[in-house]
Amino acid sequence: MKRYGVDFYVWRQQLEQDWHQVIQRALKKEQLNGALEQFLDAVEQKLERKLTPHDSERIACRAGCGTCCQVHVAVLQPEAENIAAYLKENWTSEQLETLQQRMQKMLVRIEGLDEVERAAVSCSCVFLSDEGSCSIYPVRPLLCRSLTSTCSESCRQALRMQALGESCQVEMNLFQKELFDTAYLALASIWQRCGKDHRGYELTAAVSEAL
């Protein structure tokens, strides 16, 4: 299906073809994080080339909101390892210890909850700062990058409705969503071809394990 002149099926195949050997070589050289950062940059650059100034202006997502940072987010193993490496490089040992404690509390709180139940208990992401900013923004998951909204209030309303088992539409940039969703599937396929576990895992659990 084409959006903004992009055939996402063809683009996914291209991503897999272009990046499989890159990531495989990086694994052998223990340089996965650098390769993954390049992969993320390539996807972000494709987004920038396609979005118009008008598209960007309509997106209401800003630091300080954090409404969508309560939903279940699946990450792939290479994403979790990249986040863990970023944390080890940029956070102090005391900060990491506090984070691990927060993650363990979060895992206990959300254990066994599905997406609707998690929305009902309002568990904000452990990487959301007190100011409502993403503390791992440069290495945030692909599926976090896929979500946008043209109205922050509609996001809050959607979460409230979801907690009640009802649905509420949120207007978003569908090109951006499909772009990052496709990149996620491509990375999962590449990871599988590298002989690795290509399943998605809950963000908190995956990063805690990687740390």
**pLDDT per residue as tens digits for the range 31-87:** 999 999 999 999 999 999 988 888 888 887 777 787 788 888 999 999 999 999 999
- Range(s) of the domain holding residue 23: 2-210
pLDDT at 95 over 70: yes
- Which residues, in sequence order, are CB contacts of 104 under 8 Å at separation 6+? 208
Split into its structural domains, the chain has a count of: 1
Phi, psi angle pair for 75, to nearest 5°: -130, 155
Would you state the pLDDT for residue 52?
86
> Reduced to 3 states, what is the DSSP secondary structure of residue 134?
strand
Rounded Cα–Cα distance for residues 204 and 6 (Å): 33
Would you state the pLDDT for residue 163?
64
- The answer to whether the CB of 156 falls within 8 A of the CB of 27 is no
Would you state the pLDDT for residue 2?
66
Q: How would you label 145-178 residue by residue, b for 16+ Cβ within 10 Å and e otherwise?
A: bbbbbeebebbbebbeebbeeeeeebebbebbbb
pLDDT tens-digit readout, 161-198: 776 677 777 888 899 999 999 999 999 999 999 999 99
Q: How would you label 56-68 residue by residue, b for 16+ Cβ within 10 Å and e otherwise?
A: eebebbeeebbbb
Distance from CA of residue 147 to its chain's centroid? 9
> Reduced to 3 states, what is the DSSP secondary structure of residue 6?
strand
Rounded Cα–Cα distance for residues 127 and 133 (Å): 8
pLDDT tens-digit readout, 111-170: 888 777 777 777 889 999 888 889 999 999 999 999 888 777 787 777 777 766 777 778
